Amino acid sequence: MLANVSSQIAQQLLDFFKQYLKGCLIPAFAPIPDEVIRKRLLIDGDGAGDDRRINVLLKSVTKWCNSTGTPEEGFTQYQRMMGTLAQCEFSMGKTLMVYDMNLREMENYEKIYTNIEQSITSAHEKIAECKKEIQRAKRIRKNRQEYDALAKVIQQHPDRHETLKQLEALDKELQLLSRTKENVDAKLELRKKQFHVLLSTIQELQQTLENDEKSDNDDINQESPAENGE
């Protein structure tokens, strides 16, 4: 029975330590790749000493393999090693989930940043369009003043049928221009309100990003003393 147990634990430990040694055994003074750093962080878990636990497990395996005790003692030690191994695997799985979640959060923030850039670009385009509408409104106002002056000059002349028709036509045109100006003014006011709402939204998003970044920095600062203490 002890031989079967030894074969099982040897295979499980071999699979686990292959991943551990693959990420941790690198030449001295060699630059550490990002993938190796990520594996070490996964193995170390949340800073609770998982790396040290693995080192203890390695020593326990060596001691267990060279043990000359009874089968009961060997099986008890086997159970302890399997429990330690399960804890390490659980910590690695949990840390990997947190890592994947952080990646998704980064992708989400990139999408938010892209949306903000698009909103700013759209706002600039709307501002440019509003400026054009203001220029058109100014031209309409100038034309209306000229038409008013012309109407005054016409009114100084004796009434004639053709003159009346021209005045009626001018009056209709003035009314049309007035309605056009009112529409332009209303549209301009709407654009101003929309732009104000857009700026408020951008500020809120920026504040949210700053708060998230500050919270992440606070979490890192809280974890660092715990790691130094260990």
pLDDT computed for residue 223 by the predictor: 65
State the SS3 of the chain: CHHHHHHHHHHHHHHHHHHHHHHHCCCCCCCCCHHHHHHHHHHHCCCCCHHHHHHHHHHHHHHHHCCCCCHHHHHHHHHHHHHHHHHHHHHHHHHHHHHHHHHHHHHHHHHHHHHHHHHHHHHHHHHHHHHHHHHHHHHHHHHHHHHHHHHHHHHCCCCCHHHHHHHHHHHHHHHHHHHHHHHHHHHHHHHHHHHHHHHHHHHHHHHHHHHHHHHHHHHHHHHHHHHHHC
pLDDT in tens, 211-220: 888 887 776 7
Judge if pTM exceeds 0.75: no
Q: Residue 5 — pLDDT band, cuts 50, 70, 90?
A: very low
Residue 46 — pLDDT band, cuts 50, 70, 90? Answer: very low
Q: What is the pLDDT of residues 70-102, one digit of tens each?
A: 777 777 877 887 887 788 778 778 888 888 898
pLDDT band per the 50, 70, 90 thresholds, residue 158? low
Q: What is the pLDDT of residue 28?
A: 36
2 pLDDT exceeds 50? Answer: no
